[in-house]
């Protein structure tokens, strides 16, 4: 679904609407579509990678602060709301697919949900975010499979900037 700049988004599972750079919108759309397909086990896998990487927590906080500033400075608030709505919808659908969550699984799922929001917003912000911050925020989803197709490719400009080719 692609709406104009002055139109509020209407949520459908995994879709984002924004009035920003079309490649960034497309990448955020692809990512949220991918999230909508993820089974609960894949969300938990991402959560494990976040919870198990405590030393990266401070760097994630710094990158998140920079991302929030970029969203505010470039007036991407409505687009960011749409991204968050699409991520929340995908997370809701995944959580409903699970029978019962243990306390540990709930904590892992919450970590994955926060990471998914960060990654989707980093894709939306595009070149407004320094490469190292982008990598920190998108990193938990790089090459994750978890029973679903691999996460969307890192945007081409990010692969070049980081020296990655695939």
Rounded Cα distance between 117 and 81, Å, is 10
Rounded Cα distance between 87 and 43, Å, is 12
User: For the whole model, what pTM was predicted?
Assistant: 0.78
Length of the chain equals 166
Written as six digits, the tokens of 14 are 């995994």
Written as six digits, the tokens of 166 are 């695939």
Q: Tell me: the pLDDT tens digits for 13-64?
A: 444 444 456 677 788 888 988 898 889 999 999 999 898 877 788 899 999 9
Written as six digits, the tokens of 123 are 């894709």
Q: What is the pLDDT of residue 60?
A: 92
Written as six digits, the tokens of 44 are 């938990």
Chain-centroid distance, C-alpha 71: 14
Q: Tell me: the pLDDT tens digits for 60-117?
A: 999 999 999 998 877 788 888 989 999 999 999 988 877 788 999 999 999 999 999 9
Rounded Cα distance between 159 and 131, Å, is 9
CA distances from 142 to 72, 78, 116, 125, 159 (A): 26, 26, 11, 17, 12
Q: Tell me: the pLDDT tens digits for 128-146?
A: 899 999 999 999 988 654 4
């Amino acid at each position: 679904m692609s709406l104009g700049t002055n139109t509020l988004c209407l949520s459908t599972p995994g879709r984002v609407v924004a009035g920003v750079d079309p490649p960034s919108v497309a990448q955020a759309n692809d990512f949220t579509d991918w999230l909508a397909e993820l089974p609960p086990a894949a969300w938990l896998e991402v959560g494990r990678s976040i919870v198990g990487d405590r030393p990266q927590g401070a760097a994630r906080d710094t990158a998140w602060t920079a991302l929030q500033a970029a969203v505010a400075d470039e007036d991407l608030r409505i687009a960011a709301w749409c991204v968050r709505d699409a991520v929340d919808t995908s997370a809701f659908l995944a959580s409903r697919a699970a029978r019962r969550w243990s306390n540990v699984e709930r904590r892992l799922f919450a970590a994955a949900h926060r990471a998914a929001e960060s990654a989707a917003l980093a894709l939306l912000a595009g070149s407004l975010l320094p490469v190292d911050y982008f990598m920190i925020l998108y990193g938990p989803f790089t090459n994750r499979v978890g029973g679903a197709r691999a996460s969307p490719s890192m945007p081409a400009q990010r692969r070049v900037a980081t020296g990655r080719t695939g």
